[in-house]
Chain A
Amino acid sequence: MLDGDATAEQKDYFKQHMDHCMPCYKTYNLDMAIKELLKKKCCGGPAPDDLVEQIRTKINSAV
Chain B
Amino acid sequence: MEFEDAPRQHYTEKEKQEVFNNEFMPHVHSMYNFGYRLTLDRDDTKDLVQDTYLKAYRFIESFQKGTNAKAWLFRILKNSFINDYRKKSKEPSKVDYQEVETYYNSDEVDRQITPDLRVESLKDMIGDEISNALNSLDVDFRTVIILCDLEGFKYEEMAKILDIPIGTVRSRLHRARNLLKEQLKSYAKSMGYNKA
Q: Which residues of A contact B (CB under 8 A)?
A: 3-5, 23, 26-27, 29-31, 33-35, 37-39, 41-48, 51-52, 54-55, 58-59, 62-63
Q: Name the distance in Å between A42's Cβ and chain B's nearest Cβ.
A: 5
Report the Cα distance A44→B20, complex, angstroms: 23
B149 close to A35 (CB less than 8 A): yes
B134 close to A42 (CB less than 8 A): yes
B149 close to A54 (CB less than 8 A): no
A52 close to B111 (CB less than 8 A): no
Kindly list chain B residues whose C-beta atoms are within 8 Å of the C-beta of A29. 119
B119 close to A33 (CB less than 8 A): yes
- The answer to whether residues A51 and B50 also contact, given A37-B125, A38-B150, A42-B150 and a CB cut-off of 8 A, is yes
Report the Cα distance A42→B29, complex, angstroms: 13
Report the Cα distance A29→B117, complex, angstroms: 11
A58 close to B50 (CB less than 8 A): yes
Q: Name the distance in Å between B160's Cβ and chain A's nearest Cβ.
A: 15
Q: Name the distance in Å between B156's Cβ and chain A's nearest Cβ.
A: 9
B110 close to A48 (CB less than 8 A): no
A51 close to B149 (CB less than 8 A): no
Kindly list chain B residues whose C-beta atoms are within 8 Å of the C-beta of A31. 177
Kindly list chain A residues whose C-beta atoms are within 8 Å of the C-beta of B148. 3
> B119's closest neighbor in chain A, by CB?
A33
A52 close to B154 (CB less than 8 A): no
Nearest first, the 5 A-B pairs at minimum CB distance are A44-B33, A47-B32, A41-B127, A33-B119, A38-B149
Report the Cα distance A13→B88, complex, angstroms: 47
Beyond the given pairs A3-B155, A37-B122, A51-B32, 18 more chain A to chain B contacts, judged by CB atoms under 8 angstroms and listed by A's residue number, are: A4-B154, A5-B154, A5-B155, A23-B114, A26-B114, A37-B130, A38-B134, A41-B126, A42-B130, A44-B32, A44-B36, A46-B32, A48-B32, A51-B28, A51-B49, A51-B50, A55-B25, A58-B54
